Copies of this chain bind each other. A is one copy, B any other.
Amino acid sequence: MEQYLVLLSLAAAVVALLFALGQSRKVLKFSEGNQLMAKISASIRAGAQAFLRRQYRIVSVFFAIMFVILMIMAICGLLTYFVPFAFLTGGFFSGLSGFIGMSIATRANARTAQAASEGLNRGLRIAFSAGSVMGFTVVGLGLLDISIWYLLLQFVFKLPLEQITGAMITFGMGASSMALFARVGGGIFTKAADVGADLVGKVEAGIPEDDPRNPAVIADNVGDNVGDVAGMGADLYESYVGSIVSSCALGVAAFKNISAVENIRAVAIPLILAAIGVVFSIIGTFLVRTKENADQRTLLKALRRGTNTSAILIAVLSFFVVWAILGIEFYGIYLAILCGLLAGVLIGFFTEYFTSDTYKPTKHLASTSTTGTATLMIGGISLGMMSTIVPTVIVSASVIGAYFLSTIGYSGNSQLGLYGIALSAVGMLSTLGITLSTDAYGPVADNAGGIAQMAGLDPVVRQRTDALDSLGNTTAATGKGFAIGSAALTALALIASFVEKLPEGQYTFSLMNPNVLVGLFIGACLPFVFSALTMKSVGRAAQSVVEEVRRQFREITGLMDGKADADYAKCVDLCAKASLKEMIIPSLTAILTPIIIGVVLGASAVVGLLAGATASGFILAIFMANSGGAWDNAKKYIESGAHGGKGSDCHKAAVVGDTVGDPFKDTSGPSINILIKLLSMVSIVFSGLFIAVSLF
Residues of A within 8 A of B (CB): 195, 199, 203, 368, 371-375, 377-379, 381-386, 388-389, 392-393, 395-396, 399-400, 403-404, 414, 417-418, 421, 488, 492, 495-496, 499, 508-518, 520-525, 528-529, 531-533, 535-536, 538-539, 542-543, 546, 601, 607-608, 611-612, 615-616, 618-619, 623, 655-656, 659-660, 663
Nearest chain-B residue to A608 (Cβ)?
B511
Q: CA of A392 to CA of B372 in the docked complex: distance in angstroms?
A: 35
Nearest chain-B residue to A663 (Cβ)?
B378
Q: CA of A531 to CA of B387 in the docked complex: distance in angstroms?
A: 12
Q: CA of A371 to CA of B203 in the docked complex: distance in angstroms?
A: 10
Q: Determine whether the beta carbon of B518 is less than 8 Å from that of A396.
A: yes
18 A-B Cβ contacts within 8 A?
Answer: A195-B374, A372-B659, A373-B656, A374-B656, A378-B660, A378-B663, A385-B528, A385-B529, A385-B531, A385-B535, A389-B525, A389-B528, A414-B512, A488-B521, A510-B510, A511-B608, A520-B615, A524-B615
Q: Determine whether the beta carbon of A533 is less than 8 Å from that of B386.
A: yes
Q: CA of A624 to CA of B385 in the docked complex: distance in angstroms?
A: 13
Specify which chain B residues have a CB less than 8 angstroms from the CB of A395 in the assembled complex: 521
Specify which chain B residues have a CB less than 8 angstroms from the CB of A199 in the assembled complex: 371-372, 374-375
Chain A interface, >50% SS class: helix
Given contacts A374-B195, A393-B522, A509-B511, contact A532 B656 (CB under 8 A): no
- Expressed in whole angstroms, the minimum distance between the Cβ of A535 and any Cβ of chain B is 4
Given contacts A531-B385, A535-B378, contact A372 B656 (CB under 8 A): yes
Q: Determine whether the beta carbon of B512 is less than 8 Å from that of A378.
A: no
Q: CA of A656 to CA of B373 in the docked complex: distance in angstroms?
A: 7
Interchain residue pairs A-B with the least CB separation, the first 5: A385-B532, A374-B659, A386-B532, A524-B615, A382-B535
Specify which chain B residues have a CB less than 8 angstroms from the CB of A417 in the assembled complex: 514
- Expressed in whole angstroms, the minimum distance between the Cβ of A158 and any Cβ of chain B is 32
Q: CA of A659 to CA of B373 in the docked complex: distance in angstroms?
A: 10
- Expressed in whole angstroms, the minimum distance between the Cβ of A555 and any Cβ of chain B is 20
Known A382-B539, A399-B517; 14 more pairs at CB < 8 Å: A371-B542, A374-B659, A374-B660, A375-B542, A377-B660, A378-B539, A385-B535, A386-B533, A404-B514, A418-B512, A509-B511, A511-B516, A511-B611, A523-B615
Specify which chain B residues have a CB less than 8 angstroms from the CB of A601 in the assembled complex: 400
Q: Determine whether the beta carbon of A528 is less than 8 Å from that of B608.
A: no
Q: Determine whether the beta carbon of B511 is less than 8 Å from that of A203.
A: no
Nearest chain-B residue to A520 (Cβ)?
B615
Q: CA of A660 to CA of B392 in the docked complex: distance in angstroms?
A: 26
Q: Choose one: B371, B529, B612, B660; the contact of A615 (CB below 8 Å).
A: B612
- Expressed in whole angstroms, the minimum distance between the Cβ of A190 and any Cβ of chain B is 15
Specify which chain B residues have a CB less than 8 angstroms from the CB of A414 in the assembled complex: 512-513
Nearest chain-B residue to A418 (Cβ)?
B512
